[in-house]
Structure 1
Amino acid sequence: MLSLDQLITFFNRDRAATAEPREESRTFTARCHCGNIEYSIVLPASSLPLNGYICSCTLCRYSHGSFGSFHVSLTQGVAPEWTNGTINMSVYKTKGSEPGGHGQRWFCPTCGSHNGHYEPWAMQWIADSSLFEENFWEIKGFGFPKSPGDGGLVSWLPESVSKGMKMLTMDRDFPPEDKIEIGEDGGERLRAECQCGGVSFTIKRPSDAVRNDEYLSRFVAPGNPNKWKAYLDFDKETRRLASVLFMPWALIPRTSLEPEVPSDLLIGTMKTYEASDKITKGFCGRCGAVMFIKNKDGSPSEQSEVLNVAVGNFRAPEGAKATNWVQWRSVPEREKEQIGFDSQFANDIIEGQKAWAVEQYGKTLEFDII
C-alpha cells in the first residue's frame, strides 16, 4: 500500500483531470518513431507540471534495454485520445500479469517503441514520457533504486538532485543474482537477455584478434584491453526509438557475440526496424526490449560489423552499469549542447556521470565512438 505522499509523487493524485470553467487546457502529443502509434492528452493548465518518475525495476530495465523507464502518470480520469481511433499495439504480459493491464507493457509492433501501460489498481494510464513532443512534467520520483545493484542511474545523479527525489522501494526491490558464464574456450562470458528471454546471447571479452585488428581495436576501451567502450546516447532519434531520455550503449563487434548474431540481427524473437537507410534497430518482438542498433556506415565489411548493444539488458554480477566489462565515456560538451528535450534533467545526468567517472577512473573519459 502506497502512502499519500507516494501517490502524489508517483501518481499525481493531487492534480485535477479537467479544467475549471474558463480555465485554459493544454494538449500534448506523443508519437512512436514510425508514426504507427500517435495519441494526445488534454490537461488543465493549473495541473502542470505533472510529476514524472524513473523506474529501474528489472521489468522496466529488461523490457526497454535501458537503465530504467521514464514515466509520467496521467491524472485519474485522463486517457489517451488515439489519433486513428484504435490502439494498434503489441502487448507483453509478464508471468504475474493480471486482468486489466497490471504487469503489462505496450509497444509498437513496427518500430518497437514502448508507449506505457494501464494500471488497473490505480485506474490510471502510465505514459512513457520520452515519446511526447513537449515536456510537461518534472521528474520527482525514483522507483526500485536497489534493483540495479550498483546504484544504476541514481549513482549518476548529482546529490543535490537525488536528495530532492522521492525514492520508492518495496520488498521485491533487490538486485538479481547474476553470474558470469564460461565459454568452451574457458573465457568469461557476460549474458545479455531481454525481459522475456526471447533474445539471449553472451558477450566475449576483447580477443587478441580484435585488439590486433586495425578497425575493431578502436572499440576496445582505451587503457583497458579487457573491456569495451560504452557511452550515453541522448540523440533525438534514439529517444524515439528507445522510448527513454537516453540509451546506454556498448560498442561490440558482432563476431564477439555468442552465439554469433547474424548480420540481419534475426535471432530468437528478434524483429528489425529500418529507422533510416543507414540505421537498423533490433528489438524483441515479444517484450519490446531494444537489443541493437546497427549503422551501415559503421563498418568496412560484414565481418567487421560493430553493433550498439543495449547495456540495460546486461546481466552483470557487479550491477547494471557492468563496470567490469565496459568503460563509460563522459558526454562531451558538443553533444551536451545539442540536447533539446528535458535538457535540464539530461544535463543533471551528464554532470553526475562526470563526477562518478572522476571517482571511478580518476578522470572523465572522452574517446571516439565511431
Structure 2
Amino acid sequence: MKPTEKLKVLTASCHCRKVQFTISIPADALPLKVHLCHCSICRHTHGTLCTFHTRLPSGIEPKFISPSSSNELTAYDYSNSLSTRYFCSTCGCQIGDQSHKDKSWVISNAIFDVNKDDQGIWRFSTHLYPSSATDGLAPLIPVIDGNTLEMLDPESPNTPMPPANESTDTDLLAQCHCGGVSFKIVRPKAEFIANPESQVWLSPIDRNKWLACMDTCDDCRLVNGTHVIGWMFVPVSHFSPTPSTNLVIGSSKTYRSTSDVLRTFCGTCGATVFYNCQDRPEIVDVAVGILRAPEGVMAGNWALWRAGRVSWLENGLRYHAGFSKALMEGLKLWGIERGHPDDFIIP
C-alpha cells in the first residue's frame, strides 16, 4: 500500500461489543463487492437463510480496537475446511473467515457502522451457490440498488441435506453445522390447537404449520452478522429433546441481548438457535437456517410465512434501504405465488 494512498476506515462491532475492529480500505478498491452465500455450510454455521460477505483486498485485515482482541473470538474449523470461521464467544455474532491458504479475509459486512453519508462502500453483486438452497432467498432478490446479482454456482464442499429418515412429515430436524445442537420439531398437537390461548400462534390457512417471518432488526443483525434472519415460532413443548429451563441444548450457549430477551447459539460453530422473550416464555423463535427440511430452505411443508410484512423493517431500511426494499418486494411476490398470508400479528 502506498503511504499517500487515500484510505476509508470502516468500523465493525458485534452486539455485545466485545469484538470491535476497523478495516482500512484504499479508496480505489471501493465499492467492496458483497456476495450472498447460500451454501449449506454458511447457513448451518449462521442459522440464517444466507450470509452476507465481502472479500477484503489482499493484505487488508481486521485491526482490533482495545480492549477488544482476537481473544474474544471462537474459531471453528471442520473436516476439509478451506478457512477458519470466527464468531464472538459472548454473543455469537459471526465475524468472518480467514483463508488457510493465503490468510485473506472474508468479512461479514452487516456488522459495520456505515453512515448514510457513506455512499459507494458496498455493492451487492452475487448470489453464491444458490442451487444449494432450494427455494431460498436468491430468487426473491434478483436486484439490489439497481444492480442485477449474478447467480454463481461453482463446485461447493456443501454439507449434504440429511437423509429422508432424519426429517419426516411428522418430525423436522433442526441441527447446526457441527451437530452439537440437534433436536426435532413436531407439528401442532391436538391439545395445542384446541387451546384458545394458542390461536394467535396458528393460522386458519393451515393449522398444521408453524408461523414464520423475516426479521431485519438491529439486534438480530448484530448477533447473527447478517442483514436478515428467518424465525419459525414453536412452543417449547413441541421440541424433542426438551431444552433446559434456560433453553440450552447440547453445545449451545446463552446470551441476553436485552434484560427480557434470551438468545442461544452453538458454542462450537456459532449457529444462532433460539430467541425467547419473557412476555411469551412458552414460545421460542427457531432460527430457520438450522432447519433440515428436505423440501428446501424455507421449510415450505412446515412454515407459513408472513409474506406482506418484514419485522422491524424500519431498522433494515435505515441500515441498508436497497437490500430491505428488495427483500420486502420479493417476499411479497413469493408469498402471493404460494398462498402465504400477507400479514399476521406476532405477540
Q: Same fold judged by TM-score > 0.5?
A: yes
1:352 corresponds in structure 2 to 330
Segments of 5+ residues of structure 2 without an aligned counterpart are 116-120
The alpha carbon displacement at 1:25 in A equals 2.1
Equivalent position SS for 1:72: strand
1:145 corresponds in structure 2 to 130
The alpha carbon displacement at 1:195 in A equals 0.4
The Cα offsets for residues 74-118 of structure 1, whole Å up to 9 and x where unpaired, read as 111111111127312101111113xxxx33210111111110011
Looking at structure 1, the residues matched to 24 and 217 of structure 2 have their Cα atoms a distance apart, in angstroms, of 27
Checking the alignment, whether the CA contact within 8 Å between 2:214 and 2:311 is kept in structure 1 is: no
2:297 corresponds in structure 1 to 320
Checking the alignment, whether the CA contact within 8 Å between 2:140 and 2:330 is kept in structure 1 is: yes
Judge which range, 38-47 or 350-359, deviates more: 38-47
1:81 corresponds in structure 2 to 63
Looking at structure 1, the residues matched to 268 and 103 of structure 2 have their Cα atoms a distance apart, in angstroms, of 25
Looking at structure 2, the residues matched to 279 and 52 of structure 1 have their Cα atoms a distance apart, in angstroms, of 31
Matched to 1:227, the amino acid is: K
Pick from 203, 209, 221 the counterpart of residue 203 of structure 2: 221
Equivalent position SS for 1:142: strand
| TM-score of the aligned structures, taking structure 1 as reference length | 0.85
Looking at structure 1, the residues matched to 185 and 2 of structure 2 have their Cα atoms a distance apart, in angstroms, of 53
Judge which range, 46-55 or 81-90, deviates more: 81-90
Pick from 116, 121, 127 the counterpart of residue 96 of structure 2: 116
Judge which range, 227-236 or 205-214, deviates more: 205-214
Closer/same/farther in 2, CA of residues 149 and 53 from structure 1, 3 Å limit: same
Q: What are the residue-to-residue correspondences of 1:49-198 with 2, within 5 Å?
A: 49-84=31-66, 86-88=69-71, 89-97=73-81, 102-134=82-114, 136-150=121-135, 152-158=136-142, 164-172=148-156, 176-179=161-164, 181=166, 188-198=170-180
Looking at structure 2, the residues matched to 270 and 213 of structure 1 have their Cα atoms a distance apart, in angstroms, of 31
Matched to 1:319, the amino acid is: G
Segments of 5+ residues of structure 1 without an aligned counterpart are 1-17, 300-304
The Cα offsets for residues 177-233 of structure 1, whole Å up to 9 and x where unpaired, read as 5425589xxx71000000000000000001111111222332123310100000001
Checking the alignment, whether the CA contact within 8 Å between 1:19 and 1:25 is kept in structure 2 is: no
Looking at structure 2, the residues matched to 268 and 29 of structure 1 have their Cα atoms a distance apart, in angstroms, of 34
Checking the alignment, whether the CA contact within 8 Å between 1:147 and 1:176 is kept in structure 2 is: no
Pick from 242, 246, 253 the counterpart of residue 264 of structure 1: 246
Closer/same/farther in 2, CA of residues 333 and 60 from structure 1, 3 Å limit: closer
Q: Using the aligned pairs only, state the percent identity.
A: 32
Checking the alignment, whether the CA contact within 8 Å between 2:142 and 2:149 is kept in structure 1 is: no
Judge which range, 313-322 or 86-95, deviates more: 86-95
Looking at structure 1, the residues matched to 49 and 311 of structure 2 have their Cα atoms a distance apart, in angstroms, of 24
1:295 corresponds in structure 2 to 277
Closer/same/farther in 2, CA of residues 284 and 333 from structure 1, 3 Å limit: closer
Looking at structure 2, the residues matched to 260 and 333 of structure 1 have their Cα atoms a distance apart, in angstroms, of 29
Equivalent position SS for 1:275: strand
Judge which range, 152-161 or 67-76, deviates more: 152-161
The Cα offsets for residues 101-152 of structure 1, whole Å up to 9 and x where unpaired, read as x3321011111111001124354211111111117211101211111122x1
1:11 corresponds in structure 2 to none
